[in-house]
Amino acid sequence: MAQDALQQQPQFQGDIVESGLLRQLKWNIQDTLVIAWRNLMHIRRQPRLLVLSTVQPIMFLLLFTFVFGGAIEFRFPGDNYINFLLPGILIQAVIFGTTQTTVNIAEDIQKGVIDRFRSLPMGRTAVLAGRTLSDAARGLFVVTLMLIVGFLIGFRPEGTILNIVGAIFLAVSFGFVFSWISAFIGLLVGDVETAQVAGFIWVFPLVFASSIFVDPSTMPDWLRGFAENQPLSAIANAVRGLFFGDVSLQTVLLALAWIAGIFLVFMPLAVWQYGRSTD
């Protein structure tokens, strides 16, 4: 009997590491950092991608300030449009940035890189967490750059340092949770060509029908209801309020609630989709 039981033991007992919870957590973090390192190396090896992806939001900033700014200030005399625009356009910048995530994930699937990762004894969340983490790092870089350019063309925040740090934190963390949505879409479509459109197209109405560029109160009723209550407006309002030290706790909590809500829905959804076969 004992002999039989022994023979049924798996062959590679010695090589297998039984993973306790703590060790699993440690590995998950390590794997996540390895993947994040890999993604950041991509940016380092192809700096023109980073340049291109920062030129776009800066162009938006300049175009909106100088093309529409005059018209908007004409309608609301006394307002300084750049002060209204810049906090919003930070949100637009981090969100447009994460659409690249959809393409990157699809590319990894197409090239078989995801298959290799899935055949390794890695933490289940590491590939996606590493991706969204490196996105957040890129988001922080873009936000910093936009603030510098904004300052040069007349943006003057009035909040305390703590307020401003809070505003940057909100913008970057919203980008982080948003890239879980982008990653999920990338896993769903699985090929680069589709991802290029699928990652981007739905973001446009979301960005424009919000309080990012203009006050939704000027919009027609049917649109205003959506624009005032959608998450991008909640984040933009909180970020804007923080930059000018003029924000209610409720506004900040609403923004945090959206961030937490999106994360809690799309993180498990993306991890689940990653675990499924990609055929």
**Angle at 230 (CA atoms; ends 221, 211), nearest 5 degrees:** 70
Q: Which residue has the tokens 């984040």?
A: 235
Nearer to another protein, 42 or 75 (CB): 42
Q: Is 116 in the site for another protein (CB under 8 A)?
A: yes
Q: Which of 29, 30, 153, 268 binds another protein (CB under 8 A)?
A: 30
Beta carbons of 115 and 195 less than 8 angstroms apart: no
Q: Is 120 in the site for another protein (CB under 8 A)?
A: yes
Least distance in Å: CB of 275 to another protein? Answer: 9
Site for another protein in 161-180 (CB under 8 A): none
Which tokens sit at 29?
A: 């973090």
Interface stretch with another protein, choices 69-77, 114-122, 239-247, 256-264 (CB under 8 A):
114-122
Q: Which of 1, 5, 71, 119 binds another protein (CB under 8 A)?
A: 119
Helix axes 126-152, 81-110, angle to 10 degrees: 150
Per-residue CA distances from 199 to 77, 162, 166, 180 (Å): 38, 34, 28, 12
Q: Is 4 in the site for another protein (CB under 8 A)?
A: no
Nearest to 34 by CA among 168, 127, 137, 164: 127
Kindly tell me the sign of the dihedral angle through the C-alpha atoms of 109, 111, 117, 118: positive
Q: Which residue has the tokens 């589709």?
A: 194
Interface stretch with another protein, choices 14-22, 61-69, 96-104, 227-235 (CB under 8 A):
14-22
Kindly tell me the sign of the dihedral angle through the C-alpha atoms of 181, 183, 185, 188: negative
Nearest to 126 by CA among 134, 99, 49: 134
CA distance linking residue 272 with residue 184, whole number of Å: 9
Interface stretch with another protein, choices 93-101, 105-113, 246-254, 263-271 (CB under 8 A):
105-113
Q: Which of 73, 115, 215, 228 binds another protein (CB under 8 A)?
A: 115
Least distance in Å: CB of 229 to another protein? Answer: 41
For residue 195, what are the contacts with CB-CB under 8 A and spacing of at least 6? 102, 103, 105, 106, 107, 185, 186, 189
Which tokens sit at 238?
A: 């909180």
Q: Which of 47, 77, 78, 121 binds another protein (CB under 8 A)?
A: 121
* # binding residues, another protein (CB under 8 A): 33
Interface stretch with another protein, choices 41-49, 70-78, 221-229, 233-241 (CB under 8 A):
41-49
Least distance in Å: CB of 273 to another protein? Answer: 14
Q: Is 3 in the site for another protein (CB under 8 A)?
A: no
Q: Is 224 in the site for another protein (CB under 8 A)?
A: no
Helix axes 249-275, 161-189, angle to 10 degrees: 30
Q: Is 117 in the site for another protein (CB under 8 A)?
A: yes
Nearer to another protein, 57 or 190 (CB): 190
Chain positions contacting another protein, by CB under 8 A: 8-12, 15-17, 19, 27, 30-31, 34, 37-38, 41-42, 45-46, 111-113, 115-122, 277-279
